[in-house]
Structure 1
Amino acid sequence: MSIECAFFGVLGRDAENKVSGSGKNYLRLNVRTGDGDAAQWLNVMCFDADAIAVVDKMVKGARVYVEGKLSLDEWTAQDGSKRHGLSAVSWHCHLSQIGRNKQPRQDKPTSGQIAASRNMHAPLGSGTAGLNDDIPYAPEVR
């Protein structure tokens, strides 16, 4: 049984670029959703070409957004016990713009540009115009 899913998560290790038996490229991801006791780990096979193109940025700790089909897997561990885990086959996956992955805005003015614009518009005698002028010597008045 599988259901459609969409979730944000954090990569537990660097993404692995793989090739399927039919020759199609995909990424293998290990994603944690939730925190603390509520954390859940998912194995994700991602077939999104855009995600494959930025595999070098899909590193441990990066936040990702994933859409796909979720399924519950069952297997027998080496010790003979039955194990269960979640996996997803993803058709859409990208780096999230939340937290660590957030890129600085390019159109944001620098502090020097802000200071320069303030000095250009300051009225004469306000004390802020001409901050780079030499300060004349003034003897101490008693």
Structure 2
Amino acid sequence: MAGSLNMVQLIGNLGKDPEIRRTQGGKPIANLSIATSESWRDKQTGERKEKTEWHRVVIFNEGLAGIAEKYLKKGSKVYVQGALQTRKWTDQSGVEKYSTEVILQGFNSTLTMLSDGNGGGNGGGNRRSDDDGGGDFGSGTRQSSGAGSRQSSFANNDMDDDIPF
């Protein structure tokens, strides 16, 4: 068993179009700015309040960065899974600065498009990275809202019979 876990999962909206830069070898690196929000009702005033957090996401995986470059834009709703990393640098005036980012690199990184940039409905694609940049890219899982047509992610819903306790 591992002694620690560094995994971040976010669902939010892009605050701006992805910023794409390229390595000297021409591989894309995508920078995303993702907003996540929570809302609540103030107990004393009854007023609805909202708090938004901004998250920096850096995609080093070539396949995922290509998807971000081609399909994502400001307003797109996305799910990302990666690792948290803090880097330190010195600015032009000699002051040390820190930046904490969600890094998508390697086999445990995921980028799923949940909507287009227009805030529209069903998602576009799902891409999970592999070490070689491969993976599956498809139309995502769509479920209709009809009562009888809901699909399960398990083929056999009778799993209780197999549980030994």
**Aligned counterpart in structure 2 of residue 96 of structure 1, from 114, 120, 123:** 114
Distance 2:56 2:111 in 1: 14
What is the TM-score when the length of structure 1 is the normalising length? 0.54
What is the TM-score when the length of structure 2 is the normalising length? 0.48
**Aligned counterpart in structure 2 of residue 12 of structure 1, from 8, 12, 15:** 15
Residue in 1 that maps onto 2:98 = 84
Paired residue secondary structure (1:3): coil
Of stretches 56-65 and 46-55 in structure 1, the one that deviates more from structure 2 is 46-55
Q: Write out aligned runs for 1:50-65 (5 A).
A: 52-53=66-67, 55-65=69-79
Summarize the Cα distance change of 1:70–1:53 in structure 2 as closer, same or farther, 3 Å threshold.
same
Are 2:79 and 1:73 equivalent residues in the alignment? no
Shift of 1:22: 4.2
Which letter does structure 2 place at the counterpart of 1:71?
Q
Provide Cα deviations, 1:106-128, integer angstroms capped at 9, x if missing partner: x89xxxxxxxxxxxxxxxxxxxx
Provide Cα deviations, 1:35-88, integer angstroms capped at 9, x if missing partner: 555513314225262562363431112111111111122333445443332212
**Aligned counterpart in structure 1 of residue 37 of structure 2, from 34, 37, 44:** 34
Distance 1:24 1:76 in 2: 26
How many correspondences in the alignment?
Answer: 106
Which letter does structure 2 place at the counterpart of 1:100?
G
Shift of 1:17: 3.3
Of stretches 95-104 and 2-11 in structure 1, the one that deviates more from structure 2 is 95-104
Which letter does structure 1 place at the counterpart of 2:72?
M
Of stretches 86-95 and 62-71 in structure 1, the one that deviates more from structure 2 is 86-95
Q: Which runs of 5+ in 2 are unaligned?
A: 39-49, 124-141, 146-165
Instruction: Tell which has more relative contact order, 1 or 2 (C-alpha 8 A, sep 6+).
Output: 1
Larger radius of gyration: 1
Question: Is the CA contact 2:27–2:62 (under 8 Å) kept in the aligned structure 1?
Answer: no
Of stretches 94-103 and 20-29 in structure 1, the one that deviates more from structure 2 is 94-103
Instruction: Determine which structure has the larger helix proportion and give its number.
Output: 1
Q: Which runs of 5+ in 1 are unaligned?
A: 109-142
CA RMSD in angstroms, aligned pairs only: 3.6
Report the identity percentage. 22
Summarize the Cα distance change of 1:6–1:18 in structure 2 as closer, same or farther, 3 Å threshold.
same
